[in-house]
């Protein structure tokens, strides 16, 4: 069940007929449960028990020759030898676009943000339901194969998720409509959580170089964004005023 043996003469037809998932998880119990559930759904699952084995596998000659390929990787973050974030970073740095779903212990929001920022596509907190994992795997594979050519660089922070390539924003699971400027502003904020921006810096980043308005324009746009994002716009949780400096996100 956990072997790395692969069919010796896999043809192209076979590789496309089965969706093959690489599972990187060091906890045996969780690994076995996931393998069982995914195999039950008709996936082929190859497991790696630590970060080094995962990277070895992803850089194996079978991968480079195209004899072996994965449709998706499920990646635990806390792993022996090489952790999940580093695996993700190495892959994206090398131009590998395999869709990645990160699994991690509950509460590590910073890991989740870091993971999404360095190119993971989705994130599930442990403990998760097997049904949800299976649903997300299916959605990810469909989206990757038949939808977007590139993996989505969705970013999530708290209850806000932004999909830059699709120009979409979800707030508490509801789609919200943002003007192009509001969208650009939110995208910038979410790319650098907790970074403090002065109004002048925001104008420089978001508005045209020949912008003639003043910094109050920024305040107005922040107010509009707050009305769309915050549960209580007068006591914002996301778009925070930093007195004497400007604004930060988170
Ligand atoms: Ca682990």
Residue-wise pLDDT tens digits, 135-179: 999 888 877 765 544 444 678 888 898 888 778 899 988 899 999
> How many angstroms does the Cα of residue 21 sit away from the middle of ligand 1?
18
Count of domains observed in the chain: 2
What value does the mean pLDDT take over residues 69-87? 92
15: pLDDT strictly greater than 50: no
Both 128 and 215 in a single domain? no
**Residue numbers of the domain that contains 56:** 13-145
Query: In angstroms, rounded to a whole number, what is the distance separating the alpha carbons of residues 54 and 47?
Result: 8
Both 103 and 196 in a single domain? no
Q: Which pLDDT does position 228 carry in this prediction?
A: 96
What value does the mean pLDDT take over residues 61-74? 81
5: pLDDT strictly greater than 60: no
> How many angstroms does the Cα of residue 27 sit away from the middle of ligand 1?
6
In a domain, 168, yes or no: yes
Both 134 and 174 in a single domain? no
Residue 179: strand, helix, or coil: coil
In a domain, 136, yes or no: yes
**Number of alpha carbons in the 13 Å side-chain half-sphere of residue 190:** 25
In a domain, 69, yes or no: yes
Q: What is the dihedral of CA 97, 103, 105, 108, to 10 degrees?
A: 30
Q: Which helix (H) or strand (E) holds 188?
A: helix 180-191
Both 227 and 196 in a single domain? yes
> How many angstroms does the Cα of residue 107 sit away from the middle of ligand 1?
14
In a domain, 8, yes or no: no
> How many angstroms does the Cα of residue 32 sit away from the middle of ligand 1?
13
Residue predicted with more confidence, 114 or 14 = 114
9: pLDDT strictly greater than 70: no
- Judge whether 14 and 7 are in contact, CB under 8 Å: yes
> How many angstroms does the Cα of residue 159 sit away from the middle of ligand 1?
25
Residues near 149 by beta carbon (within 8 Å), at least 6 away in sequence: none
Residue with tokens 């769309």: 228
> How many angstroms does the Cα of residue 112 sit away from the middle of ligand 1?
14
Both structure tokens of 50:
């630590």
**pTM of the entire structure?**
0.55
Both 172 and 112 in a single domain? no
CATH of residue 239's domain is 1.10.10.10
| Domain closes at, from 94, 117, 145 | 145
- CA distances for 173 relative to 109, 113, 150, angstroms: 18, 18, 23
Q: Which pLDDT does position 3 carry in this prediction?
A: 44
> How many angstroms does the Cα of residue 162 sit away from the middle of ligand 1?
28
Both 42 and 86 in a single domain? yes
Q: Which pLDDT does position 87 carry in this prediction?
A: 94
Both structure tokens of 240:
């925070």
**155 bridge partner residues:** 162
Both 169 and 210 in a single domain? yes
Chain centroid to Cα 157, Å, comes to 11
In a domain, 4, yes or no: no
* pLDDT per residue as tens digits for the range 93-148: 877 778 999 998 755 677 777 777 778 888 888 888 999 999 999 888 877 765 54
Both 130 and 192 in a single domain? no
Q: Which pLDDT does position 118 carry in this prediction?
A: 79
Both 137 and 197 in a single domain? no
């Amino acid at each position: 069940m956990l072997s790395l043996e692969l069919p010796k003469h896999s043809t192209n037809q076979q590789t496309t007929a089965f969706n093959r998932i690489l599972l990187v998880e060091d906890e045996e119990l969780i690994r076995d449960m996931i393998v069982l559930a995914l195999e039950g759904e008709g996936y082929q699952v190859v497991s790696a028990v630590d970060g080094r084995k995962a990277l070895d596998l992803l850089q194996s000659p079978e991968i480079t020759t195209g004899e072996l390929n994965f449709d998706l990787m499920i990646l635990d973050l806390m792993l022996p030898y090489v952790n999940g974030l580093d695996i993700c970073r190495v892959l994206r740095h090398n131009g590998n676009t395999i869709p990645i779903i990160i699994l991690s212990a509950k509460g590590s929001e910073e890991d989740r943000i870091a993971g999404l920022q360095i190119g993971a596509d989705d994130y599930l907190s442990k403990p998760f339901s097997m049904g949800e994992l299976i649903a997300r795997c299916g959605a990810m594979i469909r989206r990757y194969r038949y939808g977007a050519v590139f993996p989505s660089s969705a970013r999530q922070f708290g209850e806000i998720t932004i999909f830059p390539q699709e120009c979409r924003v979800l707030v508490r699971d509801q789609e919200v409509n943002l003007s192009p400027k509001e969208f650009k502003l939110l995208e910038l904020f979410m790319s650098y959580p907790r970074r403090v921006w002065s109004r002048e810096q925001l104008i420089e980043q978001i508005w045209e170089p020949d912008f003639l308005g003043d910094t109050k324009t920024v305040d107005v746009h922040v107010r509009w964004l707050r009305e769309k994002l915050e549960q209580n716009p007068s006591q914002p949780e996301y778009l925070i005023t930093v007195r004497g400096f400007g604004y930060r996100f988170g």
